Structure 1
Amino acid sequence: MSTTTTTTTATTGDRVPRGDVVAPLHFYVPPTDGSTPFNNVDPPPGVPERNFSYQTLPITIHDIRGQETSFTLENDAFQILSNLPPSAEEDPSKNGSNFTSDASISENYYPEVTSLLLNTIPGSSKVIIFDHTIRRTDPSSPRGPVQRVHIDQTAFSTAQRVRRHASSPEEAEKLLQGRYRIVNVWRPLNKGPVESFPLAFASSQTVKDEDIVPVEHRYKDGYTGQTAGVLHDEDQKWYFLSGMTGDERVLLECFDSWAGKEGLEEGKKVKGGRVPHTAFEDPRQRADAEGRESIEVRALVFGP
């Protein structure tokens, strides 16, 4: 499939693709037999990874560089944060591992993410971080950029996460009576700006409920959660932030229990509360572009 671009790189010598682009995105296609869709995590030999497929379509993806503050969790289920200080995880004097040790990431980076969420999300009072993933384009890396449109959690799996990670069943049921969300904090780890496989995200208010399909996410230990596949619709509006750097973050809201209800400002509602996202291959990126490296931290956020 051929693709066309709507712009070229912004300035002479800029190695980063800038501006709006038409690029291929991969959307969910349901099982042909009408069965419940499933995805097996690291399945053993002979067990299918999934029972559904994807279709590849050319999509206009708008570059929001210069418009970072125009998008919010309440309206779009994504938000850009800029000019953040370096992490202790990057500081050898503080025993940082530079994002190579899970234990060090938990010790150094998790508290920073907790503070960031509490200071950024109005009314938030409690954060429970439950995991993180490092992604590197290097073929030897255990996890690479995911080039499939998806949402990490559903209403069912978010409530299940609350019950799994709260300190007690009593605390879980109390937390489920208030506002609860899952928010991913995504940042690049490259020393320079991201050149390849940037992250695309669709504004939640442009995504219909019927576009979102729960998919069973089955683990080896018997735990079954849910992710969501996303059907393509012409009304969806897609965005990316060109040349992201290490002092920037994308907040990706996977679920908000207040979706469709009155939001924090009187008379306004949370619009959707769930954000489809995917890595994509920009047709303008150089063949020898530096591979993208990133970390996403997944957190339950409670309040108000």
Structure 2
Amino acid sequence: MTTAAPLPTPAHELSNAAPASNSQSEDVNFQGLPIPRGLITASLSFYEAPKDGSKPYNYVEKQPEGVPQRNFGQEWHEVPIDDLRGQEDRFTLNNNAFEVLSNVPSGEYDFTSDEKIKSIYYPEVEKLLLANVPGANRVLLFDYTIRRSSPGADREPVVRVHIDQTPSSAAARVKYHLPEEAEQLLQGRYRIINVWRPLNGPVMAHPLAVADSATVNDEDLVGVEHRYPDRNGETASVRFNPSQKWYYWSGMKNEDRLLLKCFDSDEIVGQWGRVPHTAFVHPNTPEGAIGRESIEIRALVFG
């Protein structure tokens, strides 16, 4: 059943102070507020086709004058979302297109300097992927996005179900970033994996929901032209289907990592090689909860 969108707490009303320490209880944050947990039902935004039947598109940056940023709409549906906390071992990249890792240290704390992110955090992520993705023998990190629930933030949490890549755009990524080696690399296994983590955990507002890829039909996915200033790519929007199973990892801490597989060329497990995901408004988010800040690193993984 399609329902009206919930009314989230406006970003400017959310507290954005950094946690003073990690000594708080597992069930409250540094403000003493309860961390939302458990199986819940929440509204998620799914794809609605353009009214005129045209191919859907989305401008990544400012669109041309007089042109809408995107030409497709959204449908809000109430969806059960189960908590991964306590059942983390049930899910793997090969079977479900997402996986979780705990207690991952990092030498980067500020995430305000592009130079430090690339010199300190990038090598950590590369090492993490090589150690935890079966068969991986080479990793190329090609970009990152920081999202903050604060006024004037360059990027805010995306409250729309989507997948960052499609099969055609994944191959185009290999050709774009490694043009001299692309022909050979495309003959072997290649994957695109996002590494997602909070910067001011535990996550209280706008947690990330993921769909078990094994429950998502290809017919649910719609390619959307992703328009950059200098080129076009493609992402996927997602139609609502009641057979989809949704999850979130409650109270994600700064030491937690969520691996999201956007594409997998493997002929056997590749059919589960894409994970729909979205930020959402948790119905039990306490008033005054800290606004979520996060970073996602996108990687080409070969082997």
TM above 0.5, one fold?
yes
Q: Deviations over 1:136-170 (max 9, x none)?
A: 0002211000000000000010000000111x43x
Q: Which amino acid in structure 1 is aligned with residue 291 of structure 2? A: G
Asked if structure 2 preserves the Cα contact closer than 8 Å seen for 1:43 and 1:220, the reply is no
Aligned pairs for 1:167-182 within 5 A: 168-169=179-180, 171-182=181-192
Q: Which runs of 5+ in 2 are unaligned?
A: 7-25
Runs (4+) of structure 1 exceeding 2 A deviation are: 10-14
Asked if structure 1 preserves the Cα contact closer than 8 Å seen for 2:46 and 2:240, the reply is yes
Q: Which amino acid in structure 2 is aligned with residue 61 of structure 1? A: I
CA displacement at 1:33 relative to structure 2: 1.7
Query: Which one of the candidate residues 244, 254, 262 is aligned to 2:262?
Result: 254
Distance 2:287 2:154 in 1: 22
**Identical residues among aligned pairs (%):** 56
CA displacement at 1:35 relative to structure 2: 1.1
Q: Which amino acid in structure 1 is aligned with residue 55 of structure 2? A: T
Aligned pairs for 1:200-215 within 5 A: 200-215=209-224
Q: Which runs of 5+ in 1 are unaligned?
A: 4-9, 91-97, 263-268
Q: Which amino acid in structure 1 is aligned with residue 212 of structure 2? A: S
Distance 1:209 1:23 in 2: 24
Asked if structure 2 preserves the Cα contact closer than 8 Å seen for 1:187 and 1:295, the reply is yes
Task: Identify the residue that residue 65 of structure 1 maps to in structure 2.
Answer: 85
Query: Which one of the candidate residues 187, 196, 199 is aligned to 2:208?
Result: 199
Task: Identify the residue that residue 146 of structure 2 maps to in structure 1.
Answer: 134
Query: Which one of the candidate residues 243, 246, 249 is aligned to 1:241?
Result: 249
Asked if structure 2 preserves the Cα contact closer than 8 Å seen for 1:18 and 1:243, the reply is yes
Task: Identify the residue that residue 227 of structure 1 maps to in structure 2.
Answer: 235
CA displacement at 1:2 relative to structure 2: 8.4
Asked if structure 1 preserves the Cα contact closer than 8 Å seen for 2:199 and 2:294, the reply is yes
Asked if structure 2 preserves the Cα contact closer than 8 Å seen for 1:75 and 1:270, the reply is no
Give me the TM-score of the superposition, normalised by structure 1: 0.88
CA displacement at 1:83 relative to structure 2: 1.1
SS in 1 for 2:116: helix
CA displacement at 1:45 relative to structure 2: 2.7
RMSD after superposition: 1.6
Distance 1:58 1:165 in 2: 39
Query: Which one of the candidate residues 112, 119, 142 is aligned to 1:107?
Result: 119
Q: How many correspondences in the alignment?
A: 277
Distance 1:44 1:68 in 2: 44
Asked if structure 1 preserves the Cα contact closer than 8 Å seen for 2:5 and 2:76, the reply is no
Q: Which amino acid in structure 2 is aligned with residue 302 of structure 1? A: F
Aligned pairs for 1:13-28 within 5 A: 15-28=34-47
2:275 is aligned with 1:275: yes
CA displacement at 1:37 relative to structure 2: 0.7
Distance 1:2 1:249 in 2: 29
Distance 2:289 2:146 in 1: 19
SS in 2 for 1:117: helix
Change (3 A) 1:19 1:162: same
Query: Which one of the candidate residues 34, 57, 66 is aligned to 1:38?
Result: 57
2:67 is aligned with 1:47: yes
